[in-house]
Amino acid sequence: MSLSPGAVPPSPGRPSGLAVLVLHHSVTVVILVLFIGIGVWSYLTFQKTDFFVAVDRDNLQAQLSPPLLEAQRQRIDMALQVYARIHEHYPANLRELVDQGLLLPSDLYYPAGSELWAYQRDVDSFELTLILSQGDPASP
């Protein structure tokens, strides 16, 4: 057997060039099949869920609003009670609760983005009512 100059003679423990080429392409095909399989499995799995369904934001907001409004009413109510304990009278308006640091400015507007609460005080009590979007007050 004659070798051309610069050629590496095959050794008994090394695979031939054809065997390396087949092994390389076999591994590549296996990896591609795995990626395609994972992609198809992911598509079929997510297709069965609501992942691809558009969210009905109005319905979601309608479900979330009552608990959020009740939580805000309780937060304002608690701040009014704390203010009355400290100053021995209720504030003239809800803005004083923000000025005293008992509420954040957003607490008077969240979750609607506009003023939500009508506040009236007496000497030893107060009335906090929800202002509906039509402008009519309603008790929560």
Which DSSP helix (H) or strand (E) runs through 126?
strand 126-131
| pLDDT value at residue 106 | 83
| pLDDT value at residue 34 | 96
Residue-averaged pLDDT of the chain: 78
DSSP reduced 3-state for 57: helix
User: 13 lies in a domain?
Assistant: no
Q: What is the mean pLDDT of residues 3-16?
A: 63
User: 69 lies in a domain?
Assistant: no
> How big, in percent rounded to 5, are the helix, strand and coil portions of the chain?
55, 10, 40
Cis amide leading into 111 (omega within 30): yes
User: 70 lies in a domain?
Assistant: no
Q: Which residues pair with 130 in a beta bridge?
A: 117, 138
Task: Domain of residue 112: give its range.
Answer: 76-132
| pLDDT value at residue 48 | 64
User: 122 lies in a domain?
Assistant: yes
| pLDDT value at residue 37 | 94
| pLDDT value at residue 18 | 85
User: 117 lies in a domain?
Assistant: yes
Specify the higher pLDDT residue, 79 or 113: 79
User: 68 lies in a domain?
Assistant: no
Q: Which of 1-10, 29-38, 59-68 has the highest mean pLDDT?
A: 29-38
User: 115 lies in a domain?
Assistant: yes
Phi/psi at 111 (5° precision): -95, 5
- Total domains in the fold of the chain: 1
User: 100 lies in a domain?
Assistant: yes
Q: Are 68 and 113 in contact (CB under 8 A)?
A: no
